[in-house]
A and B are shown apart, each in its own frame.
Chain A
Amino acid sequence: MSASAAAAPAAGPSRTLPINLFTHHSPDSIPSSTYLLPASWRRFQLSELINKVLRTDAEVEAKPVPFEFVIDGEVLRGSLEAWVKKYRQGDEERVVDVEYRRTLRVPQEVARREVEDWVSGLSLARPGYILLSSYLSHLQLIPLASFTSPAQPLTLNLPSLLGATCCTYLSPSSVLSNVRVAAGGVDRLVHIFEIPSLDPSAPSTSAREVYSLHGHTGPISSVISGREGKDVVSGAWDGAVNLYVLPEFEPTEHQLEANPSTFLPGQKKRRKANPSGVSIVEGLNDGDVGEGGWRRGPDTVFRGHNGRVGALVWDKRDKEKVWSAGWDGSVRGWDLEMGQEGVVRQGPMDKSILCMDQWASTGTLATGAMDRTICLWDTREATSLISLTIPTASPVPSLTCHPTSQFTLAAATYSGHIQIWDVRSPKHAIFSVSKAATPAAGAGGKKREVTKNGKVLGERLLALDWDGERVVAGGEDGEVGLWDARGE
């Protein structure tokens, strides 16, 4: 075997240890066998060994992939010998099971881009584009190619100036025309836009709002979509989780009455006199606001949360299930088909959950809360409430689990850090990078203190997304940062 051949020359007079090398990442797996490796070997030699085994003759000059080695949940830092001495009291007879995985590198900031106001939501679900919602009450679709260019991206305005709180793609990434995106707003509505073409050269005016989803009595905190974009589920501050089923074809009439455009008594007559039809309220609709789409009401309303719904996740394994997490410290599972509550996991009342995501491979939910913790919730029925609590230094308003790995997640914190966590070593984040620490990329002018509309900028991050390769994060600083960050 080539492995033993590789090991043989180095062995010599030194002692050898029986080592089992395995990985969970199947492309990197090597034939499972017990190798007798020199005790003095370190990470580098082990990594070389695996590279040699993996490499075929054809790709000899390929760049070796660095690996990292984990023994019993502990990353190997010194030599194998030192590990055996420390944890096995020098017992060299027993086989050591060594898991290896590709080394994660420190996230490198690639670029950053100023936006006009605080960033409230980000999505990397469609490759090549960043979907961004901001408190300036608009959605932006930024192509990654022109991320740093000053060119104005496709911007979609919400009909009020109160701000957008979240955004998501409705259409799956396979759909290339008439892409639908959704944004939740402080104005208690979910706005659904249709973009005819993603081509940046196309005029943005052709994009329009198709639907305005009514039904919430508080600002929207989270909106997700499922079933190829036909179902939209939104959670809001009023504690309700609403399911909207969008019709196949665009309707021709509103389902609901419009919200009152004024609360002043006796103003309706005068409004008719107003030729524009819209009375301007300062701070509400005095800017370039969009127009509302077809108003629709919820098809199902799930009530259960006592207080604000913090986050929603469409179950990545069960298409008929939605998870919601609330400020009352509970995580609830909703069965869409039955239209009822499936699972309730009630945590401490003061654990106000701000964000949630799910690992596709294991179904474990990860939540970030106001009480400065990241919690893992096992979704299977008969297990404990919170399987793991990871203390962070500040509240976690946004987190994303790695799309393929079952152990890593990226989290943004109110202290302005982007952290990558491995739940196998929950004491410290693997990496923690902050935007403040890195110099402003291409910041020519002076530092902004306030936005154009007088909102103070800070360091807190509010939104983050991770596709396994790149991390985008933004928040109170009015910037979107792009990092190279892998993790599996």
Chain B
Amino acid sequence: MAPRAVQAESSRAAQRKAVPRPAPTAAPAVNGSKKRAAPAPVEEEEEDEGLMNGDQTLEMSDDEVAEGEEEDGNEDDEDFPELDSGSSDGDDEEEDDDEEEDGSESGYNSSDIERMYEDGDEDEEEESPATTPSSSREDLTIDEKLSRMIAKNSVKPDEAIGTDGKISAAKTGKGRVVPSKYVEGSYRREYEEYEAGYGSESSTEDNPNTVGNIPMEWYDDLPHIGYDVNGRKIFRPVKGDELDKFLANVEDPSAWTSVEDKLLQKQVQLTDRELDIIRRLERAENPDKDFNPYQDTIEWFTGKGNERVMPLSAAPEPKRRFVPSKWEHKKVMKIVKAIREGRIIPNKPTAQKPAVYAIWSESDQPHQEHAMYMPAPQLPPPRTAESYNPPEEYVFTEEERKEWEEAEKEDRKTDFMPAKYDALRHVPGYRNLVQERFERCLDLYLAPRTRRVKLNIDPESLIPKLPSPRELRPFPLASVVQYRHPGSTRVRCVSVSPSGEWVASGSEDGVVRLWDLGNGREVWKWDLRGGAVQSVDWSPNAEEAVLVALVEGKVVVLSPLWLVPPAVAAATMEHTNAGFASSAATTKAGAGKEVKGVEAVKWARPGESDRERGVLVTIEVPGTPKQVAWHRKGDYFSTVAVDAANKSVLIHQLSKHATQSPFRKTPGQVQRIQFHPHKPWFFAATQRYVRLYDLAGQTLVRTLQTGARWISSMDVHPGGDNVVVGSYDKKLGWFDMDLGNKPYKTLRYHTKALRSVAFHPTLPLFASASDDGTIHIFHATVYSDLMQNPLIVPLKILRGHRVTEGLGVLEVRWHPQKPWLISSGADGEVRLWCS
């Protein structure tokens, strides 16, 4: 205990020394410090006397109670740890000199502030034995502080704290032990009076007015300002007028430190500590005088001797962290089992309460969806003219008004007259309201309504599922051979021999040329000397090699005699010359009998050198024949000359050298003709219609309405039931004759007039050529199943022909076996397009 005593001595000395000095943290109130200076020595002397009763102060805080109790505790138990609470240290210092060890600054609580200020007041009256720790601390010198700190830090904290040591004196018995009155020899503990100090200052304040925390202006017009505890009125204190107030303020030096107590309606002088708190608040400091912003560090687990050597827990991770919980597994499996057995049904609907409808409710709930619900059509929103203040132009002029008034009610354009009012409140009542509502109701009642189902269709789904062109190979892809015509002459027509070896082309210089299909070599040519070659066509009979070419006023039958085997050449000669043998027919029209209307047609034999070169027969016909079409057997062929009036369509028979005109009166300007591939039928396309005639029965079978303005080309599917028609107005119509007289499909994709359409004889392909210089290749499967419509797939656009003078590709023909296309163009080229 020796060092402790020394410390205590030194601290006391320090206290003594510090006494005469003004307190460094003293309240700024001048009078307070003055008062304090004198009794300070007395305080020290009386320290020991005032051992007991801390109840000398009226407002004893609980801390002080604890101190009092502590004394007893100290008596019982000397080793009570000083660490307990800061509130006790001040007392320790004073009561036990030798027990002065601990810093008083360690604790802080709210009542310290109070106490601190209280003692300032009390000092005036009497010396309290319980000097506050703060006052004692103020007196400490730096040395003392240092030594305290050293002492504090050099002592190991009591490890028993929190285990079994006493935490608070309040838990143990305090108070005096007095002999029991009733039981002999026994003691009972007698406690001091305890006054509940309810922490809050306002609650313990001595306040005579009991009206509570109400706005005091409620008592403004009353003579009293409230009631005291006994229910008596507290009357309003006398107040001087403003002059008195002013004088009072001037005279009283303490007036500026006083405020009005609203409750008591009088000026209250602020105490020093209140002023001090105000000043601190002004300086934005902690209002507590004793608050030390620079607290000493308390080293709990650091510093010498306090080091912790072990971690908080060295226990290994428990197994349960790794092993799945068996219990949980069991629980889950129980549920699973229940689900499997059907005892638990997942997503089972809970029992539904019967829906209760508020039948009288008129709320704006939407109608339930059901089939028969048809909402009334909405009225149109009001227009500008219906405004109460429409712009001037909507208001009727005199004439309009007159007209409106004179008109019948049904004839009026509007059922009201727009009127202009400068304010809404000037608008009179609407006279027709009831009438209109009635009519509306009548409408809704009488008008049958139907539900308009709005179709919501994905546009993608409307596009037919077409196979990709890649799957539909082969079809022509690229131009590989060009049949070059000398000079730049338009090639109007082209035809491929039935064997697929020779290509015949007719150009505007009047020459029919024969080309090797494979390499584009011109091997033979006939100069017809008759203007542009309008059309060439090979006979479909592969046993012969007959070619018909058309020039103005003439049909020429040609044969490449020297290029075909002698047997074929001989057969050709025999076929074409048979007519000459029957002498009557040679240079006359009609075979044997006179057919009316064909007098102008004359079959003639060309000269010997021409015949030697293969010009076998010429037929003089009226007009300029534009197109030739062969019958499938290769004996009949038909020509059409647009400008030959009723003799425009002629059917020639090669073996008999006979010509007949099938139509007495042509139904219009016949543009195109074609024989049906296997029936004795004949297609004739006029400008707008395609007519199908039965040649054997001499009847009109069918009229196809193309919808085109001017038909330019036509071809018949080798199956015979489908026809494509191209027109000058850029459209292509596909007719399925099983589906009626209207086009099954009308395709419009060329940018200029179509010139030629062609079906492949064997493969499901067709092509269309146009003046825009392109050739479109289509896949076209015609199913034998009547229930299935033809499949048309666009495959390829072939570009290569140049557009010259507004003309592009003039004719396309297919190779008879291969997916190859021959096209002739206005640029003087014939091209072969290969897959």
Contact = CB atoms under 8 A, between A and B. Distances in A.
A293 interface: no
Contacts of A186: 516, 523, 563
B519 A264 contact: no
A350 B835 contact: yes
Interface string A244-267: 000000000000000110111100
A162 interface: yes
B561 interface: yes
A160 B561 CA distance: 13
Given A350-B474, A395-B834, A450 B486 contact: yes
A348 B500 CA distance: 18
Interface string B525-537: 1000000000000
Contacts of A460: 481, 519-520
Contact of A188 (B482, B565, B577, B611): B565
Interface stretch (B64-72, B566-574, B673-681): B566-574
Interface stretch (A122-130, A278-286, A439-447): A278-286
Nearest to B568: A217
A219 B522 contact: no
A460 to B, nearest CB: 7
B522 to A, nearest CB: 6
Interface string A120-162: 0000000000000001000000000000000000000000101
Contacts, number: 104
A303 interface: no
Contacts of A282: 609, 613
B608 A259 contact: no
B514 to A, nearest CB: 10
A163 B520 contact: no
A467 interface: no
A307 to B, nearest CB: 7
Contacts of A307: 500, 817
Interface stretch (A15-23, A70-78, A202-210, A451-459): A451-459
A118 B484 contact: no
Contact of B565 (A218, A350, A395): A218
Contacts of B480: 370, 372, 394-395, 414
B27 interface: no
A352 B482 CA distance: 17
A264 B820 CA distance: 35
B562 A456 contact: no
Contacts of B485: 456
A160 B524 CA distance: 13
A476 interface: yes
A344 B600 CA distance: 58
Interface string B483-521: 011100000000000001100000000000000101111
B540 interface: no
**Which one of A264, A350, A449, A450 has the highest number of Cβ atoms from chain B below 10 Å of its Cβ?**
A350
Nearest to B479: A394
A264 B562 contact: no
A348 B501 contact: no
Interface in B813-835: 817-820, 834-835
- Size range of the chain B interface in the assembly: 35 or more
Contacts of B277: none
B9 interface: no
Nearest to B561: A263
Contacts of A455: 486, 521-522
Interface in B43-87: none
Contacts of B611: 264
B818 A308 contact: no
A187 interface: yes
Contact of A260 (B522, B566, B568): B566
Contact of B521 (A163, A279, A284): A163
A262 B563 contact: no
Contacts of A414: 480-481
**Which one of B501, B573, B820 has the highest number of Cβ atoms from chain A below 10 Å of its Cβ?**
B501
Contacts of A259: 566
B542 to A, nearest CB: 12
A184 interface: no
A349 interface: yes
A250 B818 CA distance: 44
A170 interface: no
A284 B514 CA distance: 14
B573 A163 contact: no
Given A217-B567, A455-B521, 14 more contacts: A135-B521, A160-B562, A163-B521, A217-B565, A259-B566, A260-B570, A265-B577, A327-B818, A350-B818, A370-B480, A371-B474, A372-B478, A397-B519, A460-B520
Interface of B: 474, 478, 480-482, 484-486, 500-501, 516, 518-525, 561-570, 573, 577, 608-609, 611-613, 817-820, 834-835
The 6 tightest CB contacts between A and B, nearest first, are: A456-B484, A217-B565, A350-B474, A350-B835, A263-B573, A395-B480
29 contacts: A118-B521, A162-B523, A217-B565, A217-B568, A260-B566, A263-B561, A263-B569, A264-B611, A264-B612, A265-B573, A281-B562, A281-B609, A281-B612, A282-B609, A283-B524, A307-B500, A307-B817, A327-B518, A372-B834, A395-B480, A414-B481, A449-B486, A450-B486, A455-B486, A456-B485, A460-B481, A460-B519, A460-B520, A462-B519
